[in-house]
Structure 1
Amino acid sequence: MKTFKLNTGIEIPVIGSGTNTYGKENHDYLAAINNDTTEIRSAINAGYRHFDTAISYRNEAVVAKGIAESGLDRSDFFLTSKLPGEPAYTADEAVVRKGVEQSLKALNTTYIDLYLIHHPWDSLAEMLATWKVLEDHVDKGVLKAIGVSNFNQEQLGHLLTHARIKPAVNQIESHPGKWNDAIIDYSLKEGVIPEAWGPLSRVNDQAKESLTTIGNDYGKTWAQVILRYQVARGVIVIPKSHDKHRQELNLAIFDFNLTDDQQKIIAAL
Structure 2
Amino acid sequence: MKNIKLNDHVEIEIVGSGTNTYGKEGNEFKGALRGDTEEIDWAIDNGYRHFDSAQLYNNEEVVGDGLAKSSVPREEFFITTKLNTMEGYHGADWAHAEIEKSLEKLQTDYFDTFLIHFPWDDNDEIIEAWSILEDYYDRGVFKSIGVSNFEKEHLDLILEHGKVKPVVNQIKSNVGNWNDELIDYNKKNDIATIAWGPLGGLEGDAEKVLDEIGGKYGKTPAQVVLRYQIERDVIVIPKSHNKDRQAQSLDIFDFELTEEDRKRINAL
The normalised TM-score by structure 2 is 0.98
Shift of 1:100: 1.1
1:8-55 deviations in Å (ceiling 9; x for gaps): 110001011110000111111111112221110001100100111111
Other structure's SS at 2:154 match? helix
The answer for unaligned runs of 5 or more in structure 2 is: none
CA contact (8 A) 2:112 2:142 kept: yes
Q: CA deviation at 1:87?
A: 6.2
Matched, 1:39 2:39: yes
Question: Could you say which residue in structure 2 is the equivalent of 1:194?
Answer: 193
CA contact (8 A) 2:171 2:193 kept: yes
Please report the TM-score for the alignment, with normalisation by the length of structure 1: 0.97
Per-residue CA deviations over 1:97-121 (Å, capped at 9, x if unaligned) read 1111111111110100011111111
Shift of residue 190, structure 1, vs aligned partner: 0.5
Q: Residue 121 of structure 2 aligns to a residue in which SS?
A: coil
C-alpha distance in 2 between matches for 1:61 and 1:243: 21
What's the CA shift string for 1:117-139, capped at 9, x where partnerless?
Answer: 11111112211110001100000
In 1: Cα distance, 2:140 partner to 2:97 partner: 16
Q: How does 1:102-181 map to 2 (within 5 A)?
A: 102-181=101-180
Counterpart in 2 of 1:71? 71
Please tell me whether the aligned partners of residues 202 and 221 of structure 2 are also in contact (alpha carbons under 8 angstroms): no
Give the number of aligned pairs: 268
Is 2:202–2:222's contact at 8 Å kept on the other side of the alignment? Answer: no
Give, in whole Å, the separation in 1 of the partners of 2:201 and 2:72.
35
1:1-269 maps to which residues of 2 (within 5 A)? 1-86=1-86, 90-269=89-268
Deviations 1:217-262 (A, max 9, x none): 1111100000000000010001000000100000000001111111
Distance 1:87 1:214, change over 3 A: closer
Counterpart Cα distance in 2 of 1:100 and 1:117: 11
Distance 1:45 1:9 in 2: 28
Cα deviation for residue 86 of structure 1 reads 4.8
The whole-number CA distance in structure 2 between the counterparts of 1:93 and 1:78 is 26
Aligned partners of 1:163 and 1:268: how far apart in 2? 36
**Aligned-residue identity in percent:** 50
Q: 1-side partners of 2:5 and 2:97: how far apart?
A: 29
In 2 relative to 1, CA 34–161 (structure 1 residues): closer, same or farther, beyond 3 Å?
Answer: same
- C-alpha contact (below 8 Å) 1:177/1:203 kept by paired residues: no
CA distance, structure 2, for counterparts of residue 53 and residue 224 of structure 1 = 22
Q: Is the 8 A contact 1:118 1:148 kept in 2?
A: yes
Counterpart Cα distance in 2 of 1:250 and 1:87: 32
CA distance in 2 between partners of 1:35 and 1:120 (Å): 32
Using a 3 Å threshold, how does the CA distance of structure 1 residues 121 and 255 change in structure 2: closer, same or farther? same
Residue type matched to 1:6 in 2?
L
What letter corresponds to residue 34 of structure 2 in structure 1? N
**1:15–1:238 contact (8 Å) kept in structure 2:** yes
Query: Shift in Å at residue 2 of structure 1?
Result: 1.2
Where has structure 1 moved over 6 Å in runs of 4 or more? none
Amino acid paired to 1:66: G
Within 2, Cα distance between the matches of 1:194 and 1:86?
Answer: 20
Superposed displacement of residue 61, structure 1? 1.0
CA contact (8 A) 1:84 1:118 kept: yes
Q: Is the 8 A contact 2:19 2:52 kept in 1?
A: yes
Q: Which runs of 5+ in 1 are unaligned?
A: none
Give, in angstroms, the shift of residue 69 of structure 1.
2.2
Task: State the alpha-carbon separation in 2 of the partners of residues 220 and 190 from structure 1.
Answer: 33
2:54 and 2:222 mapped to 1: Cα distance? 24
